A and B are shown apart, each in its own frame.
Chain A
Amino acid sequence: MKKQNGFTLIEIMISLLIGLIIIAATITIYVNTIKSSTDTIRSVRLNHDLDSALSLMENDIKRAGYWGGAIAGANSQLNPFTVVTTAPITNVQIPTPSCILYSYDGGNGITGGVAHDANGIVNLDEYYGFRLTTNGAIEMRLTVADTASVGCNNGEWQALTINDTSGERINITRLQFSFNPIPGVGDLAFPILPATSKCLNTASLVTTAPFNTLCADAAVGYLTTGQRAIETRQVNVVITGQLANDPSVTKTVYNSVKIRNDRIFTQ
């Protein structure tokens, strides 16, 4: 009988033990890597989604009030994109803290062969806005159907954030706009946002400081009928979002936007 060459029991035990230790260590490293990688990717995605949304809002809101008819010699008080007294209101407004509405002469459409961009009138596709929906998505308004209904619940809106049932969905838990300072909420989320809109009565005494609110909120008697005023608007924006499938991954982004086109009007 041929001599059996084999491992002894001790040898097998030792090699199995070493093998198991190696596999266990490798699996642990693997699991940890996957976990941290997943966290990183989720965090990056959340950051990116919120930053993109904020950036898009900033860049668009600051254009509010642009009017193609604003040329030398034009009366800026006639700017149809800053109407507040008669419907439809086209001036930038914040009807609820999570909804901002504004308009500017930048529509992409064409009516009667004339492009909407800078055509001087308020087209239906120039009523813009951002809002937070009840299911946690940020939406941007593309157009309204008619000028009779231009509120936060009217028109055609499109989601900016991923709002489907997939694992990539993010929930926006806070979207806040304000013309006035927003108090901070401690060191966890964001500091105080101090940007303030101003109302300047051009016919008042020179030494009078501008009122640090929108003209509509200025003190009684600051503006009297027939006086001209310039209103400069700043909008503070805060967005807080979290991953739908891991609410512990949460992030807050914020910024202040100066609307470049001031509103000039006669009280």
Chain B
Amino acid sequence: MKTNSPSITCQRGAATLLTALILLISITLVTFMTAKTVLVETQMSANNYRTSQATAAANAAMDYALAYFGDAGNTTFACVAASYPPAPVPPATVPAIFVQDHIYPASTASVCIDNTTTRPLTTPWGVTINTPCVTISGALTAGMIIATGYSDDGTAQRTATQCVGSRSLMAGGSPLQSLVSGGSVGLTGSAQLINRYNDTNVWSAGAFSVGSGAMETYIRPVNIEMNQLTTAQLNSTATTPIPNVQKVSSKDLGSGTDVYASDGVLAAAMAATVADKAISGHAGDGPNTFFDMVYPGVRKAELARSAQATGQPPNGQLLATGASSSHLSGKSGIVYVQGNASFGGNNTIGTAAAPVLLFVDGDFDLTGGDIFGAIYVTGKLTGAGSPKISGTIITEAGVNRGAGTVTLVYTPFGGGSGGGSIMPGLTGVIAGSWRDW
């Protein structure tokens, strides 16, 4: 008996099978295509994310470099490439000063502060950044921050650059005298005023009186040229004996040629100051005032803002009235006191490398300590004791010092003393210089 055993010829339903197969294959293809689109989109998102990571790292590195530059930018560092592959193009040559590299945070960004006139830096997309930030290579107070950030896996890289600079408050030149006064000057103690850079020590709008004390002023001997002395010799504060000077004024010699007293120019500036203060909202710092003569184009409030921007927030080195040695000691850069201040004891403000610009918007009582830098007092300078000042004193209302020995050695601000180094509070980005291409 013949049975219906399975065989090819007996198969039925092939059309159904074929149709179902074709449909299934179509579905599979469509699914794959969709999956591919989604995968590509995922990859794009991942790339966007990596770019964001790299950009954020570069921004963080930029912020770090800005803070570094504004705080202690005169440290010497070598500029080396970051450790993360792919390494950024390392600078070909670097000056020995004021260039630093820091990897921040570890392995995700590198920073270089560069002060050469041109810095060829090829970006990943093949563009060469060659914008100079400084016109003279090796300038100590300006440079270009090159911040390169990487994504966590190192595949994405973004570079941003920005010029940074330092504002010079002495745009019109530092005073040439060790003591500039808008009022009268009375030194009754044994003050010693020394100026080895220029031939004047005192410049005042009012009268200059030596009194009966042992006050003496000195300048560099006429037969020694300035370039025969080293900076250390020019700035020397040694007193017994005082090296490389000749005495010009004293109780017995009287006021010598290094004293310009009762000067009409300063008197006119002081008159302008009084007139400016009389205007509502003005602080005696308008055009042609005493302050404007010393710091051309600057306003007192701007100085205060600069001081506020330094040190610990919220007020940095902006101090309230009544600031004393404990508040002032150890500071450098811009220090602004909104009122009277006093300083003395065995304390120091500023250093030779990082001088202070102490602005006292009131009276200043000086009884001791060491000060490196310029002191500007809108009121009167009083005191006693034996302070040593390397720099210059500027006072609007004059000087009235009693007993004691003050040693004032003139050092030009922004020249010999802290010559062109960074002062906290005076640094900043140069607006308009940020670029990332």
- Interface residues of A, Cβ cutoff 8 Å to B: 5, 7, 15, 19, 22-23, 26-27, 29-30, 33-34, 36-37, 40-41, 44, 47-48, 51, 55, 59, 63, 65-74, 76, 79, 81-82, 106, 118, 202-206, 228, 230, 260-264
Contact = CB atoms under 8 A, between A and B. Distances in A.
Contacts of B34: 36-37, 40-41
A51 B49 CA distance: 12
Interface string B399-437: 000000000000000000000000000000011111111
A15 to B, nearest CB: 6
Contact of A72 (B23, B135, B308): B135
Most buried by B among A73, A106, A202, A203: A73
A73 B44 contact: no
Contacts of A228: 302
Contact of A37 (B31, B135, B299, B430): B31
B83 interface: no
Contacts of A264: 431
B229 interface: no
B131 A118 contact: yes
A33 B30 contact: yes
Interface string B120-147: 0000000000011111000101110000
Interface stretch (B13-21, B213-221, B234-242, B388-396): B13-21
Nearest to A60: B437
B358 interface: no
The dominant DSSP class at the B interface is: mixed
Interface string B134-163: 110001011100000000000000000011
Interface residues of B, number: 46
Contacts of B302: 202-203, 228
Contacts of A23: 16, 19-20, 23
Interface of B: 4, 12-13, 16, 19-20, 23-24, 26-27, 30-31, 33-34, 37-38, 41, 44, 48, 131-135, 139, 141-143, 162-163, 165, 299, 301-302, 304-305, 308, 318, 430-437
B434 A26 contact: no
A73 B30 contact: no
B434 A261 contact: yes
A72 B31 contact: no
B163 A15 contact: no
B20 A22 contact: yes
A261 B27 contact: no
A66 B133 contact: no
Contact of B23 (A27, A37, A74, A261): A27
Contacts of A63: 434-437
Contacts of B437: 63, 106
Nearest to A205: B301
A248 to B, nearest CB: 19
Contact of B41 (A48, A59, A71): A48
